[in-house]
Structure 1
Amino acid sequence: MSLDLTDRRIYGFATEEHLRFADVDANGHINNGAFLQLLENARVSYMRAIVRSGLPRFRVVVGRLEIDFKRQMFFPGRATACARLLDVHERKCVIGHGLFDGEGNCTAVLKAIMVSLNEETHRSMTFEPAVRAALEKYAASKDGLGS
């Protein structure tokens, strides 16, 4: 399934973010690094919500980030950071993100490749079947929330 990450309607999960003066760069707009932090907060919060929904405990780590910056954001302001599962593989999953300014304009999209991690060896491992099945349900759903 191919989804348009700039479309706010594909995301059932979002965090409301406050843009800080400390995030402003020399050009007077929100720094690119701050975009990554805002999206990371959404990703971590989304994954925690999934785990708390009753899944067996599992760990993932970032293997790759691909971000496209679409437009600037300015201080002061607010942003909405969204996340949802897009795809699940044997040892990794793909999480899509959208970042939207206070007017609802998409300012960035990101794909995060998350690798399944064995907590003891710190090596990649396959997802347990129950975890993979649940993650696939989230990825296949309309809003990324399994509904």
Structure 2
Amino acid sequence: MVFDLADRGIYGFATSERLRFADVDANGHINNGAFLQLLESSRVSYLRAIVRAGLPPFRLVVGRLEIDFRRQMFYPGTATACARLIEAHDRKCLVGHALFDDEENCTAVLKAVMVSLNEETGRSVPFAPAVRTALDRLAASLNGLPT
């Protein structure tokens, strides 16, 4: 399935994030690094609350981040950070994200490749069958939530 990451309707999971004065850069807008932190907060919450729920423990690490900035954001304000699983593979999954400003404008989209990791060897490993099945279901759902 192909998802338009800028479409708020594909996300069943979101966090409300407060824009901080410390996030403002010399150009007077929210710094691009802060966008990554806001989206990371949503991803971590999504993985904990939705993806790992009811599954045996497994370790994921960031393998790659690809972000497209679409609009500026300004302090003060809040943002809505969304996350959902969009693909599952043997050793990795792809989490899609979007960040929306107070007026519901999409300000950034992000794809995060998350790699399954064996902590003892430090190498990628295939997902356990139960985990892979759950990941496939989340990726196939309309909103990234269990059906």
Matching residue of 1:90:
90
Unaligned 5+ runs, structure 1: none
CA distance in 1 between counterparts of 2:102 and 2:95 reads 23
CA contact (8 A) 1:88 1:139 kept: yes
State the 1:119 CA deviation.
1.9
Q: Which moved more, 1:34-43 or 1:47-56?
A: 47-56
Matching residue of 1:19:
19
Matching residue of 1:2:
2
Partner letter of residue 61 of structure 1? V
Partner letter of residue 44 of structure 1? V
CA distance in 2 between counterparts of 1:138 and 1:121 reads 28
CA distance in 2 between counterparts of 1:106 and 1:47 reads 22
* Pairing of 1:1-147 with structure 2 (within 5 A): 1-147=1-147
Deviations 1:80-122 (A, max 9, x none): 0000000000000000000000110000000000000012212
Q: Which moved more, 1:112-121 or 1:49-58?
A: 49-58
Aligned length: 147
CA distance in 2 between counterparts of 1:108 and 1:126 reads 31
Unaligned 5+ runs, structure 2: none
CA distance in 1 between counterparts of 2:91 and 2:122 reads 13
TM-score by length of structure 1 reads 0.98
